[in-house]
Amino acid sequence: MEQKYRHKHTSVSLVNYHFIWCPRYRRKVLVGPVEARLKELIKEVAKILDLEILALEIMPDHLHLFVNAPPELAPHDIVARIKGVSSHHLRREFEHIARMPSMWTRSYFVSTAGNVSSETIQRYVEAQKKRG
């Protein structure tokens, strides 16, 4: 996987984040039309935030997102935007999700990845769907 460096007027960067988070009470709600809509929403937010999605796998009770981000964007801002937008839309569009106290837990996992380990993380995220 060839990584593209981001070139700005005064900087060059390669910032990759691996995120994992899950629905409240780890409920298995990220399936079928919810999964498809969530993918659309994540892609929309990624475009707005200038994120490049390197890998995205949605499991029934959690998701893995691996992105290349601009250096001025903090990881907590990325997660907050994606969780906020997706929760808003999914709760409006799916009645069973609207009945949940909240869509997402407040917690999440984030890890940074350099150029060498990015390939390993991408393979790991893509393999998650095959595991179970």
3-state secondary structure 61-112: CCEEEEEEECCCCCHHHHHHHHHHHHHHHHHHHCHHHHCCCCCECCCCEEEE
Q: Is 1 part of a structural domain of the chain?
A: no
Q: Is 77 part of a structural domain of the chain?
A: yes
Q: Is 119 part of a structural domain of the chain?
A: yes
Domain count across the chain:
1
- Encode pLDDT of 5-55 as tens digits: 888 888 888 899 999 999 999 999 999 999 999 999 999 999 999 999 999
Per-residue confidence (pLDDT) for residue 117, from 0 to 100: 64
Whether the per-residue pLDDT at 114 is higher than 70: the answer is no
CA 61/CA 33 separation, integer angstroms: 14
Domain extent for 71:
6-131
The residues that are catalytic are 124
Per-residue confidence (pLDDT) for residue 5, from 0 to 100: 84
| CATH number, position 113 | 3.30.70.1290
Residue 6, phi then psi, degrees to nearest 5:
-90, 125
Whether the per-residue pLDDT at 2 is higher than 90: the answer is no
Whether the per-residue pLDDT at 84 is higher than 70: the answer is yes
